Amino acid sequence: MTQSVTSAAASGAASSASGATSPKRAFWSSRMAFILAATGSAVGLGNIWKFPYITGENGGGAFVLVYLLCIAIVGIPIMMAEVLIGRRGGRSPVSSMGILCQRDKLHARWRWLAGIGVLASFLILSFYSVIGGWALSYVGTAGTGQLSGQSSESIGAIFSGLLADPGTLLIWHTLFMALTMLVVARGLRGGLERAVTILMPALFVLLLLLVGYAMTTGYFGQAVTFLFQPDFSKLSTEGILVALGHAFFTLSLGMGVMMAYGSYLPKGVSIARTSILVSVMDTGVALLAGLAIFPLVFANGLEPGAGPGLIFQTLPLAFAQMPFGSLFGTLFFVLLVFAAWTSAISLLEPLVEWLEERRGLNRMISTLGAGIAAWLLGIGSILSLNEWSGFAPLGMFAAFEGKTIFDLLDFLTANILLPLCGLLVAVFVGWFMARQALENELSMGGRSFALWYGVLRYVTPIAVAIVFIYNLL
Ligand code: PHE
C-alpha cells in the first residue's frame, strides 16, 4: 500500500518534531481507506446485535425515529468535530487535545475530555469482547450444522446453554480478545485496512440476502410497521436516553476513536462528506439488521423485547430453515465476528496509544497491559450472565436496582460517559476553538458551515443536556 505524501504528512512531521515522544505518523492510503476504517469501527455489534434488541425493548417505531434524529442532529455534527480535532492535532486523542489547547491558549484541563473517552473505550471493550465471543462460538455452532432443521425452542436452548456456561464463555472471550490484541500490537496498517476493504462490503451483501429471506416469511410488512410506524405511547424517557446513548455508541463517538482515526486523515479530504457517508452506512446496516430480524421474530411468535439474546435466537431460525442454511449461517457469523473485531480494535487503540505516549511503553507491552486488563474486567460480565446473575453491585441506589456488572458497564458507558464526552466535544469545538481554525479545517461552503456550526453550538449541546438532566431528575 502506498503511503500518501500530502501536506498532512508534512504537518504531521512538523508537529512530531516539536513533541519528543511522538511516534512517526502513518496516513491512510486514501480517503477510501479512512472511510472503510471508520466504518469498520462504527459498524459492529452495535448495529447488528444491540440496535435490534434495544429497538425491541423500547417498543419499535418511536424509538427508531428518535434514534435517527439523534444520529442527524447530535451524531453527525459531533463526528465532524471529533475528526476535526484529530486531524488538527495530528496525535493520539489526549495529545491532540493538548496541542489544540496550547495553540488556542485554552486551559489544558480540556485534555481530560479525551481521558473520559479512553476510560469509556476500555470499559466497553471489556464486555464487547464477551459478546464478540458469543459470535465466535456461533461460527462453530452454525459451521458444524447444529442449527439445521432446529425448532425455535431448541435454538433458544442452545443460546441459554451458552450463557449458563462460564467456562465456554471464557474460552471464546479469551480468543476474541487475543485476536484484537494481535492486530493492535502490529500497528495500524498491518492488515486492518485491507481486511475492512473486503469484509465490510461482504457483510452488507449478506445482510441484504437475509432481508430477502425475511421477505419470504410473510411477516415483513408487520416488521416494517413495527420499525417505522411511531407509537409514542411506547417510548419512555429512559428510551430517549438509550436512543441518544446508542447514537454515540454506534457511531463510535465520545471515545476519541474518531479523533484517533481523524489524525490519520490526509488534509484536503472533506470531513463533512466523509462523516456523513460513514454515518449513513452505519445507520443503513442497523436498519437492514432490523429488517432481517423482526420478520423472524413475528413469524416465530418470539418476543421483540427478548433482550441481548435477540439476534442469537432469531437469525439461527432463518438459517435452520433456508436452503444452504449452515453455509449462510457460518458466513454470517464469520462476518459478524469481523465487524465486531474491527470495532474492538478501534476500542483498544486509544488506550494503547495513550500508554505509549504517556508512559513511554512500547506497543507490545502497552497492548498486552491494556488487553489483559480489559479481559479481566470482562470476566465480571461473563459471571453476571450466570453465577453472579443476582449480584447488583450498586443495587442500593434505586437507579441501579437489579443491574448486574454487565448492565452497569453498558449503562455507565453508553448512557453517561459517551454523551458526557460528546457534550464536551461539542462545547469545546463550538465555543472554545477559534472559528477561523474550524473554517480552515472543514473548508465547506459558507452556508453548510453556518448550519453545522449553529447545530453544534446550540442544538447538539442543548439536546444532550436536556435528555441528561431529564433522566437524572
Ligand atoms: N461502534 C461500534 C458498534 O456499533 C462500537 C464501538 C464503540 C466501537 C466505540 C468503537 C468505539 O459496535
What is the rounded CA–CA span in Å between residue 432 and residue 428? 5
Q: Would you say 120 and 418 are in contact if contact means Cβ atoms under 8 Å apart?
A: yes
Question: Does the C-beta of 44 come closer than 6 Å to ligand 1?
Answer: yes
Question: Does the C-beta of 350 come closer than 6 Å to ligand 1?
Answer: no
Question: Does the C-beta of 49 come closer than 6 Å to ligand 1?
Answer: no
Asked whether residue 23 carries a pLDDT value surpassing 70, the answer given is no
Confidence class of residue 190 from pLDDT cuts 50, 70 and 90?
low
Ligand 1, atom 7, lies closest to the CA of 252
What is the rounded CA–CA span in Å between residue 367 and residue 383? 24
Question: Does the C-beta of 252 come closer than 6 Å to ligand 1?
Answer: yes
Question: Which residue's C-alpha cell is 453472579?
Answer: 388
The reported pLDDT for the residue numbered 428 is: 93
Alpha helices of 360-397 — where are they, by DSSP H?
Answer: 363-384
Question: Does the C-beta of 257 come closer than 6 Å to ligand 1?
Answer: yes
C-alpha 273: how far from chain center: 20
Question: Does the C-beta of 158 come closer than 6 Å to ligand 1?
Answer: no
pLDDT mean over 5-17: 33
For residue 250, report the distance from its CA to the centre of ligand 1, in Å: 5
Question: What Cα–Cα distance (Å) separates residue 372 from each residue in 43, 338, 453?
Answer: 24, 21, 41
Confidence class of residue 5 from pLDDT cuts 50, 70 and 90?
very low
pLDDT digits (tens, 9 = 90+) for 57-76: 999 999 999 999 999 999 99
Question: Does the C-beta of 249 come closer than 6 Å to ligand 1?
Answer: yes
Strand residues in 16-104 grouped as ranges (E)? none
For residue 103, report the distance from its CA to the centre of ligand 1, in Å: 30
For residue 281, report the distance from its CA to the centre of ligand 1, in Å: 14
Kindly report the pTM of this predicted structure. 0.88
The reported pLDDT for the residue numbered 125 is: 96
pLDDT digits (tens, 9 = 90+) for 353-366: 888 887 888 889 99
Nearest CA to 213 out of 304, 320, 54, 336 is that of: 320
Asked whether residue 102 carries a pLDDT value surpassing 60, the answer given is yes
pLDDT digits (tens, 9 = 90+) for 303-346: 899 888 899 988 888 888 878 888 888 988 988 998 899 899 88
Question: What Cα–Cα distance (Å) separates residue 342 from each residue in 40, 129, 275?
Answer: 5, 12, 18
Atom of ligand 1 at shortest distance to CA of 254?
9
